[in-house]
């Protein structure tokens, strides 16, 4: 049996940083709609801080803590990260109204400006070419904290033919261990049958602990510290140029 290759979406297949920046900024400030695809209203230093620190965010609700850290503690990138961790511990559940607003705004954006929304979510060129080449294989899956509809729409917009039933998204769970447990049950697999590629070290450590082989996508949202942490946890850092050898 061929190994199941499971890919995260944001930061592995798709560079969604501009979409996340625009939507999360409006959600943080309590906006009910996004009137235009325009970053000019966001201060340049805030944009830079957001992009530098994007790698610490997991599911969308974490953007609440990132913006709070950037806006209230902007002395250094290190201070933003330390404050982010502190806020996540001290203000658990404060992010829930933000998360609801984030998904509503993204859904509105997608419906009103569909073509522009697709452009805010470009695929990494090398990944897109590989997915088009290998997408007819039944062992290629997507395991993501993004909603299945958005993933499916973006795959279709990029001419990648991965079936909807091969996508495990946030409707099931935001915990990727639970997504894999469902996949294993659905398809009568064992952990050793699966390889998982993600750019988020926290997700990889969690999934690695349940016996699935993991690789850190170094082209995504991560840091040198994440790469060192991966090695300490028997997770292999993977370069984009080496991906085809796994697929």
CA 176 to chain CA centroid, Å, is 11
Cβ distance 245 to 3 under 8 Å?
no
Cα angle: 201, vertex 161, 167; to 5 degrees: 40
Q: Could you give the C-alpha distances from 125 to 114, 132, 184, 240, in angstroms and in order?
A: 21, 11, 30, 11
pLDDT at 122: 98
Strands (E), the chain: 4-7, 140-143, 167-168, 194-198, 213-217, 236-238
User: Which residues of the chain, if any, have pLDDT below 50?
Assistant: none
pLDDT at 51: 94
Cα angle: 193, vertex 144, 32; to 5 degrees: 170
Cβ distance 64 to 84 under 8 Å?
no
Q: What pTM did the predictor assign?
A: 0.93
Please choose, from the candidates 227, 195, 199, 224, the residue with its C-alpha nearest in 3D space to the C-alpha of residue 212: 195
Beta bridge partners of 43: none
Q: Which letter does DSSP use for residue 118 in this model?
A: H
pLDDT at 153: 97
Q: pLDDT tens for residues 123-137? A: 999 999 999 998 777
pLDDT at 74: 66
């Amino acid at each position: 049996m061929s190994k199941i290759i499971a890919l995260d979406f944001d930061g592995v297949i798709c560079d969604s940083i501009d979409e996340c920046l625009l939507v999360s900024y409006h959600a943080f400030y309590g906006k009910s709609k996004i009137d235009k695809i325009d970053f000019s209203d966001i201060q340049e230093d805030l944009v830079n801080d957001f992009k530098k620190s994007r790698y610490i965010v997991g599911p969308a609700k974490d953007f609440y803590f990132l913006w709070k850290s950037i806006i209230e503690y902007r002395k250094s990138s290190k201070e933003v990260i330390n404050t982010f961790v502190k806020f996540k511990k001290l203000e658990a559940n404060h992010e829930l109204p933000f998360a609801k607003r984030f998904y509503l705004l993204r859904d509105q954006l997608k419906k009103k400006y569909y073509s522009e929304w697709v452009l805010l979510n470009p695929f990494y060129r090398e990944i897109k070419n590989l997915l088009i080449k290998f997408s007819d294989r039944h062992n290629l899956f997507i395991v993501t904290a993004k909603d299945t509809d958005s993933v499916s729409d973006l795959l279709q917009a990029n001419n990648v033919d991965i079936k909807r039933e091969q996508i495990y998204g946030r409707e099931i769970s935001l915990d990727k261990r639970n997504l894999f447990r469902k996949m294993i049950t659905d398809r009568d697999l064992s952990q050793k049958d699966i390889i998982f590629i993600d750019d988020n070290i926290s997700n990889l450590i969690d999934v690695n602990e349940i016996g699935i082989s993991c690789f850190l996508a170094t082209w995504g949202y991560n840091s040198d510290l994440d790469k060192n942490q991966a090695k300490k946890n028997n997770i292999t850092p993977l370069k984009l140029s080496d991906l085809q050898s796994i697929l």
